[in-house]
Chains A and B, each alone.
Chain A
């Protein structure tokens, strides 16, 4: 379990806090969606939940982050990385810059965990297969398209088989097929007991993936509940959050007395 208790945070050099008394708990195997308007604190919350802030980027934090009962504050960087990994919005931020091929880039994570070579290779191959990256393994990681780089970034995280995963807009640069692929990979990772926090604007993706949705606004958590309840909440529009198409069109069809089975059918039309 990953738990934030009463966490407030401000960046180094800034006078004001960007997170205010955030309480958040990720149970094992749970996929939690994090939504909110731009600049609400989603990316900051990702940095804090992964322990990067303040450990790596400074700033001032009050409250606690605990990982499976261990306070993150006392952990060294490598111990933190064994417990929680983070994927950034812009995959170019995440790339190691030292790997010559995509294969090496993905292998770097498990290698740094001190695994034996055969384990590193096995995990790397598994992550590559899961995200269908076989055709890219020998490519230079600095010469990928935005979408390819994002898939490689996610494969790098999967290869570490982390207990907890924090993802900041993992599909921002992906096409619909890549987005579905990532969704399937994350669902199967959660099936192994890993907990995930996913900051995303694509509520349609979260709708089919998450058990719970947390809404952040102005650095505070303003809604936290089961996916269907939160996405059906009428306050979302006022927060600048688009409900999933299922909810938007469901309301429209409901007001016209259309059989809900039509929506259910249309949703499966997409499940190719």
Chain B
């Protein structure tokens, strides 16, 4: 079992980096590793509890049919997955980034920290990956 720290920066719905990052976290959990995710800047909105689904009139899809992704659910699901696999997933937001964006209302399980916390996660990790943004 290893520990991996991943830093992400992109806000939801803006970049292909986001699902790739989630796929890395999922794979790491599935393989039995502990994962720390540190969300910086726009990525702090990934866990925002106020995200809502919507229908899709262009495709004639109702709310249910569209089943639009809200990344907050991906986080909740990964936290549950980590529990099932008995590994640790830490999902931590940069607190100042949360404040300036007004996304304090986060789903349960998301914590708040600073660059020093990110550093400490990295210090305790075998591998560190920062996915920067454009």
Do A and B belong to a common assembly? no
